[in-house]
Structure 1
Amino acid sequence: MGRLHTFSQADFERFGQLYDIEFRFPAIQGDTGSDDRIVARGEIAEYSLASGFRFTFSSLQVLQAYESVSSGHAPLLVLVVLDGTVELTLGSVEHVLSPGNAVSMQLHPDYPLRAHQPEQEHLQIVALAFDPRGATLGHVSSSLQDLTILPRVPLRQWSVPHPFEELLRTHARLTMTVAQKSLVLEGLALQLAGLGLAGDEHESPDAPVVPVQQRQRLELVRQHLEFTPDHDHTLKDLAQMAAMSPSGLRAKFRAMYGVPVFDYLRKCRLRLAKHYLEQGFSVEQSANRVGYTHATNFSTAFRREFGFSPRQRAANHKK
């Protein structure tokens, strides 16, 4: 893709083929000649660093709203919005990012990341992906190797410190040699990765001390439920994932997160159903998509969770 130029749907599709991203343009999909339609104007710059980090700096005027579905793999992915708005969905998790917001996660083919970029005058995004296979340093430092064995990082939203946000905004205007710029970007990548790594914000405040390995396996189960709420989950399968007995998983999950494991799954399913209702699916379709065979049971659970019926939610969203 180019710099300070116009981008067509075909340009986006070529970029997507490189990184396992599917781009969709709902307003023009299927139109004759849509591949050549100009959908954005601005600048996109990519930097592949010796450490295995890859920066993508995008500054665009979005002329046609588009969606992207990322199904590749990266031990760590950090997205920062400097200007504009981006809507992200991963399973039952939804985030609307505005300037100064960021998300971090592990990108995995089992959990496609969906993003929606509405038409807007200025969308400025910084994406940082880490892939040790791209490292050319001869060896990856131990701190970076740790990223490859982390439990799956949840889709975590956080605020970028203002001084660091300014550094990201001004990087392109810095006058320096290629070697100098590589060093500066390596430093920015390490700082952004450090800021992006998730803490234990999902734990219950009264959670007992649990060995690190068990905490990581419990977090893997929690994220698996959150990212795939529409799948069939059994206690036996989840216990195997956690390398625990079923009774041990029940007790430790509740101790760590303050809620029984299948209550957590129910909440995830209802959040995902709420998203489907907002997209225009019917109550019955939304119920079926998240694993409810009876719309009546779904409606009861939905009202108990949110305080209003799914039909009310669908009707309000159409207004």
Structure 2
Amino acid sequence: MADTVTAAVAAEQPAPGQRLTVADLTAYEHRYNLSHRVSGEGHVPPDQTVAEGRVAERQPWRGLQMVGSDLFVRRTYEAHARPEAPAHVSIIVLLEGRAELALGASRHTLTAGDGLLLAYDRNQSLRARHPADQRVRAVNLTLLRDSLENDPRLAGSVDPLFRSRGGGLWPVSVPYGLRLSLAEWIASAPAAPALPLMAEGLALQLVAQGLAGRGQALPGPVPAPRGRDWRLLERVREYLDEYPGEPHTLKALAGLACMSPSTLRAKFRRAYGRSVFDYLRERRLEQAHRALRDGLSVQQAANRAGYRHATNFATAFRQRYGLTPSAVR
């Protein structure tokens, strides 16, 4: 459930910034050992806009990179770790929006307020997917082995993650105050004199929170379905993404997946960490949030998102975003 950190920024538009094009993603590829795939038919031209907003990059010390982003994603895109990408440990905090992460056979969906600790040892594939038509505010702190040489506290606490074969994913509980500080850091002017100190302090807090969560089990899809099952589940998920306002039934969705309703229910939860209709509810509320920001009335936004009664919509919206629908308009 989103809290007041998300609610405090939900009514705003992404901070003014530049277009992020396919060519810009290519530049990031060289810097972070990534490859990107942008949705579209055939060849996507280099000047095609993928997202708009801003990306802040800081290096508090050698071997540690902190990236904050406030983007409106126009086209779905994926980032894949290249074979030459170094082993690393990352703490990811999603302040707003949705992202999907896959480490080997483990897949997890992040929503607003979620945190995740990731240990990547180069023996598994690593992929992140960013669906279109949403605002994403996130912070990603990445530690390389070099960072351990600069602080003995890190060497003692983080090094075991580098030595764990197969890597792993662990949930991270990010306190309200830290999420608020991260949101302020993303929104700060790039030339603010205190920004380097702020980034260093936040980086240490993120490491502490990430290590505190290690050992907890991730809810959801470990291991995830593979092969044909995964393709059929993706068919259902993409259909829900495209038509969230339709009156979906489990029986009809199961037919789309060529599964029985009970099998779809179980496999969808294992793959995405939530039930079919919890996932649909999130997509509907995201669509309604966009409609409200575009100037539609509360009733119009409720209808577009598939809610027949505005009161039920208002209750679900308040639980998701921490404020009433009328406060967004």
Could you say which residue in structure 2 is the equivalent of 1:141? 151
Moved over 6 A (4+): 175-179
Query: How far is 1:100 from its partner?
Result: 0.6
Letter in 2 for 1:102: G
Give the counterpart of 2:232 among 277, 280, 303.
277
Could you say which residue in structure 1 is the equivalent of 2:183? 169
Could you say which residue in structure 1 is the equivalent of 2:172? 158
SS in 2 for 1:6: strand
Structure 1 CA distance for aligned equivalents of residues 207 and 194 of structure 2: 20
After superposition, the Cα gap between the structure-2 partners of 1:113 and 1:159, relative to the gap in structure 1 and judged at 3 Å, is same
Match status 1:195 vs 2:209:
yes
Letter in 2 for 1:145: A
Query: How far is 1:174 from its partner?
Result: 5.0
Letter in 2 for 1:103: L
Structure 1 CA distance for aligned equivalents of residues 196 and 155 of structure 2: 20
Query: How far is 1:187 from its partner?
Result: 1.5
After superposition, the Cα gap between the structure-2 partners of 1:5 and 1:272, relative to the gap in structure 1 and judged at 3 Å, is same
Structure 2 gaps, min length 5: 1-15, 237-258, 269-275, 277-329
SS in 1 for 2:39: coil
Letter in 1 for 2:178: F
Give CA deviations for 1:1-21 in whole Å, capped at 9, x if unaligned: xx8111110110111121111
Structure 1 gaps, min length 5: 204-225, 227-266, 282-302
Q: Is the 8 A contact 2:171 2:216 kept in 1?
A: no
After superposition, the Cα gap between the structure-2 partners of 1:131 and 1:38, relative to the gap in structure 1 and judged at 3 Å, is same
Query: How far is 1:90 from its partner?
Result: 1.7
Structure 2 CA distance for aligned equivalents of residues 38 and 112 of structure 1: 27
TM-score scaled to structure 1, two decimals? 0.60
Give CA deviations for 1:25-49 in whole Å, capped at 9, x if unaligned: 1215514xx1111111110110012
Matched ranges for 1:46-195 at <5 A: 46-50=57-61, 52-71=63-82, 72-133=85-146, 139-146=149-156, 147-150=158-161, 151-152=163-164, 153-173=167-187, 180-195=194-209
Could you say which residue in structure 2 is the equivalent of 1:229? none
Q: Is the 8 A contact 2:102 2:108 kept in 1?
A: yes
Q: Is the 8 A contact 2:103 2:127 kept in 1?
A: yes
Match status 1:9 vs 2:22:
yes
SS in 2 for 1:35: coil
TM-score scaled to structure 2, two decimals? 0.59
Could you say which residue in structure 1 is the equivalent of 2:310? none
After superposition, the Cα gap between the structure-2 partners of 1:280 and 1:104, relative to the gap in structure 1 and judged at 3 Å, is same
SS in 1 for 2:215: coil
- Structure 1 window deviating more from structure 2 (150-159 vs 79-88): it is 150-159
Higher Rg of the two aligned structures: 1
Give CA deviations for 1:141-180 in whole Å, capped at 9, x if unaligned: 2111232343435212333211110010012455798764
Identity of aligned residues (%): 23
- Structure 1 window deviating more from structure 2 (122-131 vs 70-79): it is 70-79
After superposition, the Cα gap between the structure-2 partners of 1:177 and 1:63, relative to the gap in structure 1 and judged at 3 Å, is closer
Could you say which residue in structure 2 is the equivalent of 1:25? 38
Structure 2 CA distance for aligned equivalents of residues 29 and 158 of structure 1: 39
Q: Is the 8 A contact 2:54 2:71 kept in 1?
A: yes
Matched ranges for 1:229-240 at <5 A: none
Structure 2 CA distance for aligned equivalents of residues 48 and 70 of structure 1: 20
Structure 2 CA distance for aligned equivalents of residues 7 and 18 of structure 1: 15
Q: Is the 8 A contact 2:173 2:209 kept in 1?
A: no
SS in 2 for 1:18: helix
After superposition, the Cα gap between the structure-2 partners of 1:161 and 1:73, relative to the gap in structure 1 and judged at 3 Å, is same
Query: How far is 1:202 from its partner?
Result: 4.7
Structure 2 CA distance for aligned equivalents of residues 175 and 25 of structure 1: 29
Query: How far is 1:128 from its partner?
Result: 0.3
